């Protein structure tokens, strides 16, 4: 892949912008503001390479409508370009540097002159050049630290053996930023612009070559090519970004994935919902996951060392005023902070899930000014459930390695089986409709069982036990151990991978085959292929007798009244006799 200075600079400034521009090739509508830096910079280059008229024409051609503000910028260019041209020597414009790995353009490559006069003039040094890069900007200090001309020197000398870059310069043409006063006519304002432009002077900024800058740039190239995630870097420069509307205002656009099968053996994210009786070891097991953060509701964090956020009402007393922040609002704030991914956590644990649902209910009571869902039975139940599930989905959609939900088990309800027996239902302590929705968000719903000192993790599911999952495994119960849990995911990934390979290369069915018949006597015709059926599986003796009896009865049903059935062939004499319809007689 060819890289350029601007490409790497874009990645370092904002990886998300780099992704949109260079990886997804999303183009934006060019801004039509008169002081557009891109249009003004292009016009400056054109003016220094050709003349002022060409520069102004180049500038005007970028806009559909020319206003007084555009004319004001053209006046500045008409004065500043000749002054800048007097500062730089003659040379070669837009010199292209291109290799398999790098591409760039030197604005001006000028032959280097000797420091002493020979014959009344300075002599050119053979094979030695100076680099000039044009900048229409007031930010001189930024370009002094830029790696751009260092790269030009490094790659030019590398691609042109025997030639040397002696000096490097930035030609900085200052911008005149003036605004028309309220009591100032347009003519007076333009006269003031001309006076200010005559007062400023373009200057050359010499830069000493620094090999370390090139090495740092090469490291940036490696980071760019190895990058998998492209987060947003928000700052004050976002207001000048062409892609601001895409990442901040949420404009309607979608980046489709590549049309290729995913390797499900590499899926690392694990989403699990644990439930069990109190003191069965759920929290201790979750604490063994790597780099955990617990969103804790019941204060059960005394015997685990994971960092946690207490999900409870926060009360702040200021003087005589008491400010209360409800626990659900605290939970939502934690979710919003986790979405930023500005942390090093790998596992997010919600302990307990049913507590957050109750906190959501109280929060919605406060929002709707009710004391129970029955106060507004047409909306309240649905609004509470929607608020809870939509917030939980935000957590599930986050790019963390592990997400663990913890609940207590509920054994207070009985189920009547078909035979009339009553058995105790074992399920998470969460409303049934909500529990079914949550189960659809996770990979596994597992029950933690404590039998004395033995702890197990059960994935069994039936009409009594709430559990199971979408992982393809032969195991339905394992010890409550983190390594054993990882083996379950490894087994499921292998099974899913084998299943995908079978789907991608299906076997050819042999239930029916086409067999070509020889051509008939008539010339020019061919018989269609005849389908050869494979005989059915052999039936046992009782099934064979029943089948033959049914066929003979059906045949007798089709005979006209008064006709008897034909006798059976000799080889079928041992078959059971069939019934025949009696002949009708008239009374």
Q: What is the pLDDT of residues 151-195, one digit of tens each?
A: 999 999 999 999 999 999 999 999 998 888 888 999 999 999 999
Q: Cα–Cα–Cα angle for 301, 302, 305, nearest 5°? A: 70
pLDDT, tens only, 452-474: 889 999 988 888 899 888 777 77
Residue 340 has pLDDT above 90, yes or no: no
Average pLDDT of span 240-266: 68
Distance from C-alpha of 51 to C-alpha of 270, rounded to nearest angstrom: 64
Q: What are 243's two structure tokens? A: 């892609």
Q: Cα–Cα–Cα angle for 160, 163, 169, nearest 5°? A: 105
pLDDT number for residue 240: 75
Distance of CA 175 to the CA centre of its chain: 41
Q: What are 171's two structure tokens? A: 């030609």
**How does residue 30 score in pLDDT terms, banded at 50, 70 and 90?**
confident
pLDDT number for residue 124: 81
Name which of 68-72, 110-114, 334-338, 509-513 the model is least confident about.
Answer: 509-513
Residue 504 has pLDDT above 90, yes or no: no
pLDDT, tens only, 406-454: 999 998 888 877 777 888 889 999 998 999 999 999 989 999 999 888 9
pLDDT greater at residue 232 or residue 307: 307
The CA-to-CA distance between both ends of the chain, in Å, stands at 103
Rounded CA Rg of the chain: 41
Which fold does the domain 31-209 belong to in CATH? Lambda Exonuclease; Chain A (3.90.320)
**How does residue 303 score in pLDDT terms, banded at 50, 70 and 90?**
confident
pLDDT, tens only, 4-17: 999 999 999 899 88
pLDDT number for residue 264: 63
Residue of 549, 551, 558 lying closest to 576 (CA atoms): 549
DSSP annotation of 182 reads T
Residue of 264, 333, 304 lying closest to 504 (CA atoms): 264
Average pLDDT of span 266-276: 84
Angle between the 186-199 and 68-85 helix axes, to the nearest 10 degrees? 20
In degrees and rounded to multiples of 5, residue 137 shows phi and psi of: -160, 160
pLDDT, tens only, 41-60: 999 999 999 999 999 999 99
The correct CATH number of 267-500 out of 1.10.10, 2.40.128, 1.10.540, 3.40.50 is: 3.40.50
Distance from C-alpha of 100 to C-alpha of 3, rounded to nearest angstrom: 9
Name which of 65-79, 234-248, 273-287, 342-356 the model is least confident about.
Answer: 234-248
**How does residue 569 score in pLDDT terms, banded at 50, 70 and 90?**
very low
pLDDT number for residue 511: 46
Residue 262 has pLDDT above 80, yes or no: no
**How does residue 544 score in pLDDT terms, banded at 50, 70 and 90?**
low
Residue 295 has pLDDT above 90, yes or no: yes
Establish how many alpha carbons lie within 13 A of residue 71's alpha carbon, considering only the half-sphere containing its beta carbon: 8
Q: What is the DSSP string of 417-435?
A: -TTS-EEE-BEESS-HHHH
Distance from C-alpha of 282 to C-alpha of 218, rounded to nearest angstrom: 48
Q: What are 183's two structure tokens? A: 């009591």
**How does residue 266 score in pLDDT terms, banded at 50, 70 and 90?**
low
What is the 3-state secondary structure of 259-272?
CCCCCHHHCCCEEE
Establish how many alpha carbons lie within 13 A of residue 523's alpha carbon, considering only the half-sphere containing its beta carbon: 0
Average pLDDT of span 73-98: 93
CB contact at 8 A, 331 and 359:
yes
pTM above 0.75, yes or no: no
Query: How large is the greatest C-alpha to C-alpha distance in the chain, in angstroms?
Result: 150
Residue 200 has pLDDT above 70, yes or no: yes
> Strand pairing of 121-136 and 414-416?
unpaired
Distance of CA 253 to the CA centre of its chain: 13
> Strand pairing of 321-325 and 422-424?
unpaired
CB atoms within 10 A of CB 448: 21
CB atoms within 10 A of CB 500: 15
Domain range list for the chain: 31-209, 267-500
Q: Which residues pair with 44 in a beta bridge?
A: none
Distance from C-alpha of 204 to C-alpha of 110, rounded to nearest angstrom: 14
Residue with tokens 């353009």: 105
Residue 138 has pLDDT above 90, yes or no: no
What's the chain's average pLDDT? 82
Q: What are 84's two structure tokens? A: 């800048």
In degrees and rounded to multiples of 5, residue 40 shows phi and psi of: -65, -40
Determine if residue 289 is left, alpha or beta; phi over 0 gives left, psi from -120 to 50 gives alpha, anything else beta.
beta
Q: Which residues pair with 92 in a beta bridge?
A: 109
């Amino acid at each position: 892949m060819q890289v350029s200075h601007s490409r790497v600079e874009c990645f370092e400034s904002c990886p998300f912008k780099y992704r949109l521009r260079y990886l997804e090739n999303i183009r934006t509508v060019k801004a039509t503001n008169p002081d557009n830096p891109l249009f003004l910079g292009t016009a400056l280059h054109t003016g220094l390479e050709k003349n002022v008229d060409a520069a102004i024409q180049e500038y005007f051609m970028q806009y559909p409508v020319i206003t007084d503000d555009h004319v004001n910028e053209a006046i500045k260019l008409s004065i500043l370009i000749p002054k800048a041209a007097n500062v730089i020597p003659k040379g070669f414009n837009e010199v292209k540097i291109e290799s398999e790995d790098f591409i760039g353009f030197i604005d001006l490559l000028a032959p280097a002159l000797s420091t002493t006069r020979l014959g009344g003039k300075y002599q050119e040094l053979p094979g030695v050049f100076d680099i000039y890069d044009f900048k229409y900007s007031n930010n001189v200090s930024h370009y002094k630290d830029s790696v751009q001309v260092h790269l030009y020197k490094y790659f030019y000398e590398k691609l042109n053996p025997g030639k040397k870059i002696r000096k490097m310069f930035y030609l900085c043409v200052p911008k005149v930023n003036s605004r028309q006063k309220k009591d100032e006519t347009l003519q007076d304002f333009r006269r003031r612009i001309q006076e200010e432009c005559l007062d400023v002077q373009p200057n050359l900024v010499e830069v000493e070559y620094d090999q370390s800058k090139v090495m740092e740039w090469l490291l940036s190239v490696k980071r760019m090519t190895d990058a998998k995630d492209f987060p947003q870097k928000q700052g004050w420069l976002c207001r000048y970004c062409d892609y601001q509307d895409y990442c901040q205002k949420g404009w309607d656009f979608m980046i489709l994935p590549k049309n290729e099968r995913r390797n499900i053996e590499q899926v690392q994210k694990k989403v699990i919902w644990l439930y069990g009786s109190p003191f069965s070891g759920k929290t201790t097991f979750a604490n063994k996951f790597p780099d955990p953060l617990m969103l804790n509701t019941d204060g059960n964090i005394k015997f685990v060392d994971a960092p946690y956020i207490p999900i409870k009402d926060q009360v702040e007393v200021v003087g005589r005023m008491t400010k209360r922040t409800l626990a659900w609002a605290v939970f939502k704030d934690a979710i919003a902070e986790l979405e930023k991914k500005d942390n090093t956590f790998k596992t997010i644990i919600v302990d307990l899930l049913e507590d957050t649902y109750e906190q959501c209910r109280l929060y919605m009571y406060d929002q709707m000014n009710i004391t129970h869902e029955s106060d507004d039975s047409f909306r309240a139940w649905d609004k509470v459930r929607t608020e809870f599930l939509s917030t939980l989905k935000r957590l599930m959609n986050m790019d963390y390695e592990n997400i663990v939900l913890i609940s207590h088990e509920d054994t207070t309800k009985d189920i009547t089986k078909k035979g009339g027996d009553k058995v105790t239902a074992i399920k998470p302590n969460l409303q049934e409709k909500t529990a079914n929705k949550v189960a659809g968000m996770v990979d596994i719903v597992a029950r933690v069982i404590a039998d004395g000192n033995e702890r197990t993790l059960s994935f069994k599911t039936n009409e009594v036990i709430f559990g199971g999952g979408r992982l393809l495994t032969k195991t339905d119960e394992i010890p409550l151990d983190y390594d054993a849990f990882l083996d379950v995911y490894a087994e499921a990934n292998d099974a899913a991978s084998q299943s995908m390979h079978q789907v991608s290369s299906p076997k050819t069915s042999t239930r029916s085959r086409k067999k070509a018949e020889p051509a008939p006597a008539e010339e020019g015709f061919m018989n269609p292929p005849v389908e050869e059926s494979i005989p059915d599986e052999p039936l046992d003796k009782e099934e064979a007798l029943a089948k033959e009896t049914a066929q003979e009865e059906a045949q007798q049903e089709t005979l006209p009244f008064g006709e008897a059935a034909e006798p059976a062939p000799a080889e079928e004499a041992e078959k059971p006799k069939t019934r025949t319809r009696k002949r009708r007689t008239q009374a």
